[in-house]
Each structure stands twice: as C-alpha cells, then as structure tokens.
Chains A and B, each alone.
Chain A
Amino acid sequence: MQPVLEVRDLDLGYDDYVVMRNLSFSVNKGDIFIVMGVNGCGKSTLLKSLIGLRMPTKGKVLYYGKSFWDEDETGQKNIMRRFGVLYQGGALWSSLTVGENVALPLQLYTKLSCQQIQEVVALKLSLVGLEGCEDYFPSGISGGMRKRASLARAIALDPDIIFFDEPSSGLDPINARKLDDLILELRDGLGATVVVITHELASIFAVGNNSVFLDTESKAIIATGDPKALLANSKDPRVIQFLTRARAQGA
C-alpha cells in the first residue's frame, strides 16, 4: 500500500546551521503518527517543511507519491488542499468570528452557497463540541475552545491528513484528554491520517500508533515505531529517558 506521506533523506536547517539530517520515514493511511523529541530538536521545523512553509535543504516530502517541493505552485496548492493543520496557538484569525474562520476555507475552495456553508460550519463545530459558537470572536472564548475551533477549521474541507502542532500545549489535563479523544474520533470518522508533533507523554501514549524520535545531539531519527512498543523494548537511554521522564544522568 502506498504511504500517504513519505519523507526521504530530508535535511533541515537555517542558512548554514543544520537542524536535522537524513530524515526518512513514512506515514500510512489511518495512522496517528507522532513526531517526538525534546525542545529545540527540530520538530516544528520538520512540520514547516511537511506543510509547505519551509523548503528543506535537501530531500523529498512525498504525498501519495508526489514530491511536494518539486511540484509547481498549482500542484503544491492541490496537495495543500488535502491537508489541514491545527497550529500550536490555534492561529484563528482574530478579526473573524469562529463561524467565519471555519467558513473561509469552504468559501475559497467550494462552490457552496452561503446557506450551505453555514450548514457545513454548524456540522464542523458540532463535531468538535462547539455547536452554537459561530458568532463568538476568538478573543471571547477560552484557550481550549480556540483549539477546538481551530480544529474545526482544519477539518473544514475533509482533509486526508491532519497535522497537529503541540495539540495539548496550554491545555489543562482534562481538556488535553478531550482533545486526544477528539483526534481518535475524527481519525475514525473522517478516515483521515494524523501527524502529531508533540512532547506530551500522555498524548503520545493515548493516541499514537507509530512514531519517530528526533534527537538533538545526533541531529537524526534515533527510534521509530509504536510509542508503547518503544517504551517496552527500546534500549536507547535517550529514548527511555524521554519516555519515562527520567532525570538525565548526573543531573
């Protein structure tokens, strides 16, 4: 089966500074794929290269076999149309209401009438538990609700792949757990593939079925596989230390 997303020999960096080298992994349909690692290891830089915001120094990012960075602008737009992104801070447009935020992708990419768009917006908001919140501005709702509203925007066009950048950051444990459950339910309902960038252990074990571990020192992937299996079987002290929240030796 062809992977939904494949990363081949990817190098990431800023000018002369290399963040990560030779990253290679693939994400299959229906996976909830975790990209984990400590702060500053390059998770967010990798995400930027995956969602078309930052060109990698070397290597390929393939969606359904098509190399994203080798496509022309139209080709890239067609690929981008197939994924949704939940940004760390929600990134809702503050001058638009929650409903308008969710409606905008539908206005841009579908031919639905205003009434029909409102119906789809109502559906998306009810999927994330925000029915009736269309008229609120992002500044008038809580952080957890902003995340869910942003998720409703991310799934507005029924994407094949949903990227989550630190979904639990800034959320209390109860809301973080609710969001994890929502990720699982949306994956099952929409049949989407999910890529989660996180270092929250609770989320990693609650939702992930495949993962890569990025290491800052070696600037490479040092472990791959189901996070629960990694916890049980990995012999690498860096992975064990991360997954068990153990203190660094000598600390």
Chain B
Amino acid sequence: MLPEKLVFDYSIPKTLLIKLSGDWQISAGLLSTDEVTSQLNSHPDIVQINISVSQDLKWDSGLITFLLKLIRECEHKKINVAREGLPQEAQKLLSLALKVHEKDILSPNVRESFLERTGEKVLQIIEGLRSGLYFLGDISVSFGRLITGKSYFRWDDFMLIVQRCGVETLLLVSLISLLVGMILAFVGSIQLKVFGAQIFISDMVGIAMVRVLSAVMTGIIVSGRIGASFAAELGMMQANEEIDALKTLGVSPVEFLVIPRILALVIMMPILTIYADLMGVLGGFIISAGMLNLNPVEYLNHTQNAIKLSYVWVGLIHSIVFGVIVAVAGCLRGIECERNAAGVGIATTSAVVTGITGIVIATAIITYICQFLGV
C-alpha cells in the first residue's frame, strides 16, 4: 500500500519532506502522484519539496516516471522540488528527461475531420487515376522507343522474367485448369443427364474453356503469383532508392523495368492459356470417360467439332489483354509504392485486387464486343 513507499514529513515550515522507500521498479507497478497532490492541496502554504530515500529503496524508470510527473505538476503550482536527496543516477536521469532539447522540425500531426478525410480520399483517387494515365502514356512512349530501337532493353532480364511467368506458373495452371474442366463436366452432367444429352458435356467444357474460362483462370493465377511479385519487387526497389538511381543515370524506369515485364506476360499468357485449354478439356474428358461412361473417342470428336478456330482467337485475345492488365497493375502499384515495409504490403495487395478487378471488367467488355460482332 502507499504509506510503505511514501512518508510525508512537515517538520520544516512551508516544506514537505517526502521519504521514499521500498520497491519503485516498473515490475512492482507505477505509483500515482494523487497522494502527493492531495497532501499539497491540504497544505497550500508549501513552497518547497525535499526528497529523501531509504537504504532499502529499489528503483528504475518507475521512480523516475513518478518524479517527473510530480516535478511537472509542482511547476504549475510554483513549488520547488529539490532533487539532492535522490541517488546520483536518478538525478542524472531526471536532468536528462527535463533537459530542453533543440526542437526537431516536424510537420504538424493534426487529426483531420471526417469531411477533410473524405475529400482527401477523393483527391487521392483522382490523383491515382491521373498517375495511372501518365503511366500508360509512359508505357506507350517506351514501347515506341523499343520498336524504333532507341530504348535500353536487357534481354537477360527479359528471359528471366519470361521463365518466371511461364515455367514457374505451369504447375498451378495445370492443377486449376484440370479441376475447372472436371467441375464443369460434373456440374453440367447433372442437368444434361435429364435430357439424355451427356455427350454435349464435351461441347460445353470445350467451348467454355477455350473461349473464356482458361484465360480468366490463368489471368487470376498469374495476377496472384506474378502481378503480386512484380509489385513487391518494384516496391522494394522504390524503398531502396534503386529506381531513383536509375532515374539519375538517365534510364527510364519504365523502359528498364516495366516494358520487359509487360512483354514477358503478353508472350507467356497466350501460351499458358492454350495449355490451360488442353488441361481443361482433359479434366472434362476424365470425368466423362471415367465417371459418366461416355465413349472417349466420341467425346474427343465432339470436342473437336465444337471448338471453332474463332473461339481460340477469342480466348487468345482475352489472354493478351489480361497479360497487359496484370503486368501494368503490378508494375504501377510497385512504382507508386511508399518507401517502407507497410507500403510494399499495400502495393502487393493492391496489385492483385486491381489485376483481378481489371480481368473481370475486361472479360465483360470483350464478351459484349464478341456478342456484338457475332463471333
């Protein structure tokens, strides 16, 4: 309890002597200054506080925190607190804590109102759109320079990115496409069985996979795996000032970092999509031949007849557009990244969200255009 640690002595006129004893370490908990304050309130004539300590006093920052608070409270009441009775080390710490340091220049840290924050957010969105357009402009200019042979392009880096986008994604694309093909066949069979039209499962799986589903599934996988890694990679480069180093060298970061990534994805996405088409059809074939007892040769013939070349082209166009969307989203978020660890995390998440949203919107637009053109 309090009396064990704090004893008050009024034997000297207008002076309060505080005797400290016991455990004043943080592990024992911090003592409030309320007790001292009430003593001072009941003795308004006090102008001086002296402090003495007993032999058994154990202390650390717990004591200093208490004393600092007491000194600051007494400053308001114009009461002098003499520190001579304290251990030497405690006096030094108190002096250090009370030292007037040169003020560092800091921007004001004011809390903004709801309206201000909303306005700020809207302006951020507008600024984001504008920087996105600038980025697309930069990309177009850099492509122009690449085509005319004026840009600096590192083929080694490009091949490395191609490998990452292709070979290292293959296993995931295989698994997902195979399963999507199987699920489609299985779900379709439930309804088609009613009409005795199970053989049309092959048409459904083939057309759905080749026209749109393979490209969409591959796009989503690539967005999660490659788009995120682009954002993290460029974000870290931004944080480590590597992008600044490129700029000061007169090299455009878009030419050096973004163009190889976009090209790599634009080349690899159609290849992955064709591969996903095959895996999807294989998935449908496994279910049809294995579980629904359809004739395997008949299934393959039906698939061949159902898939027109124009469907393959539609799928490939999807995949190229998705490749551009994923690469641009990843690179844009990475280059816009804030220069800290949290910024890299935000950029990565944002790249995936932007990529997938872009894929869905692009699918809707391309589907409408195809419908309009009668493809």
Contacts and interface: CB of A to CB of B under 8 A. Distances in A.
Given A110-B27, A112-B30, A139 B339 contact: yes
A190 B97 contact: no
Query: Interface range on chain A: under 10, 10 to 19, 20 to 34, or 35 or more?
Result: 35 or more
B95 to A, nearest CB: 8
A191 B87 CA distance: 12
A231 interface: no
B64 interface: yes
Given A112-B29, A157-B26, A123 B89 contact: no
A129 B99 contact: yes
Given A112-B29, A120-B26, A139-B338, A190 B89 contact: yes
A15 B145 CA distance: 47
B30 A185 contact: no
B93 A190 contact: yes
B340 interface: yes
B106 A189 contact: no
A92 to B, nearest CB: 10
Contact of B96 (A120, A144, A185): A185
Interface in A98-115: 106, 110-112
A142 interface: yes
Interface in B68-112: 68-69, 89-90, 92-93, 96-99, 101-102, 104, 106-107, 109
Contacts of A158: 25-26, 60-61
Contacts of B99: 129
Contacts of A127: 93, 96-97
A78 interface: no
B65 interface: yes
B1 interface: no
B26 A188 contact: no
Contact of A188 (B30, B92, B97): B92
Contact of B104 (A110, A141, A189): A141
B60 A139 contact: no
B309 interface: no
Interface stretch (A34-42, A130-138, A243-251): A130-138
B104 A145 contact: yes
A241 interface: no
B364 interface: no
Nearest to A106: B26
A124 B99 CA distance: 13
Contact of B29 (A111, A136, A157, A188): A111
Given A110-B27, A191-B89, 20 more contacts: A94-B342, A110-B26, A111-B29, A112-B26, A116-B30, A120-B26, A120-B62, A123-B97, A124-B61, A126-B98, A127-B97, A129-B102, A133-B106, A139-B339, A139-B340, A140-B107, A141-B104, A158-B25, A185-B92, A189-B89
Which 10 pairs, one residue from A and one from B, show the smallest C-beta to C-beta distance? A129-B101, A189-B93, A189-B92, A94-B340, A158-B60, A116-B30, A126-B97, A123-B65, A95-B342, A94-B342
24 contacts: A94-B340, A95-B342, A112-B26, A116-B29, A116-B30, A116-B65, A119-B30, A119-B65, A119-B69, A120-B26, A123-B65, A123-B97, A124-B61, A127-B93, A131-B101, A136-B109, A139-B339, A141-B104, A142-B104, A145-B104, A188-B89, A190-B89, A190-B93, A191-B89
Interface of B: 25-27, 29-30, 60-62, 64-65, 68-69, 89-90, 92-93, 96-99, 101-102, 104, 106-107, 109, 338-342
